[in-house]
Amino acid sequence: MEKTINITLKVWRQAGPNVKGKFETYKLDKVSTDSSFLEMMDILNEKLLSERKEPVVFDHDCREGICGMCSLYINGHPHGVDANTTTCQLHMRRFKDGDTITIEPWRSAGFPVIKDLMVDRSAFDKIIQAGGYVSVNTGGIPDANAIPIPKEDADEAMDAASCIGCGACVAACKNGSAMLFVAAKVSQLALLPQGRVEGARRAKAMVSKMDELGFGNCSNTGACEVECPKSVSISHIARLNREFLSAKIKD
């Protein structure tokens, strides 16, 4: 028999970036514990539409834990309290009957609110663009297996590349720092021979763009690593610092 719960939602509503927002309270009854958190949000919006009220705006795309779009702050945690889990992978069985769930957008100067729970995360795209491209000689490309890369380096590069750019690290940081995101994107290439050609330029450009876009400095509390749904290690921040300082010293 399907198990259901009754819940109360405190949802942040904000009509636009320059409008003062506030929490509004909604009650949902008989929510299936098998439904995902985003499916529960769909149910809420269907209820609001049936009542001729404006639905809650929130971001989502793949709903498979890959795209990083489901950027919700749930009960004081980015993506909710479960470790290594995106919002779309969070299920209502994680909550109890009668629970009150507080839902907010990311809070960061670098991620201005567009409406309700949706924020503008294009700053991450601009940081990636600042990193530029990887130089590759397209003539006579050798087989990938012919390029010697130590397994430890390859594994660490893949761990860094697992970052989905969701912004949970920024939301978790008390300074709104994007260091873990930038570090992951720098590190995944800094460890590989294909990424070494522009390594120095890339580190300087991405850090400069991060600062320009209003993200704060690293707080050294490790909150970003704890809240990251892909468990990207803060050790990559140390590598970013080394890459950046080395590049500046060479200048």
Q: pLDDT confidence of 142, banded at 50, 70, 90? A: low
Give me the pLDDT at residue 196, please.
85
Q: Which CATH number fits domain 4-114: 3.10.20.30, 3.40.50.150, 3.30.1330.60, 3.30.60.50?
A: 3.10.20.30
| Residue 12 parent element (H or E) | strand 4-13
pTM for this one? 0.91
Give me the pLDDT at residue 208, please.
96
Q: pLDDT confidence of 248, banded at 50, 70, 90? A: very high
Average pLDDT of the residues of the chain? 93
Give me the pLDDT at residue 141, please.
66
Number of helical H runs and strand E runs in the chain: 8, 7
pLDDT, tens digit, 9 for 90 and up, residues 33-65: 999 999 999 999 999 999 999 999 999 999 999
Of 146 and 224, more confident: 224
Q: pLDDT confidence of 138, banded at 50, 70, 90? A: low
Are 13 and 23 in contact, with CB atoms under 8 Å apart? yes
Give me the pLDDT at residue 42, please.
98
Q: Which two tokens stand for residue 202?
A: 């890339």
| E-strand stretches of 75-161 | 77-78, 100-104, 113-115, 118-119
CA distance 68 to 156: 21
- Domain spanning 121-250: CATH 1.20.120.80: no
Give me the pLDDT at residue 135, please.
74
pLDDT-above-70 percentage for the chain: 96
Give me the pLDDT at residue 164, please.
97
Q: pLDDT confidence of 137, banded at 50, 70, 90? A: low
pLDDT, tens digit, 9 for 90 and up, residues 98-128: 999 999 999 998 999 999 999 999 999 999 9
Residues of the chain with CATH 3.10.20.30: 4-114
Are 164 and 205 in contact, with CB atoms under 8 Å apart? no
Residues of the chain with CATH 1.10.1060.10: 121-250
pLDDT, tens digit, 9 for 90 and up, residues 160-204: 999 999 999 999 999 999 999 999 999 999 998 888 889 999 999
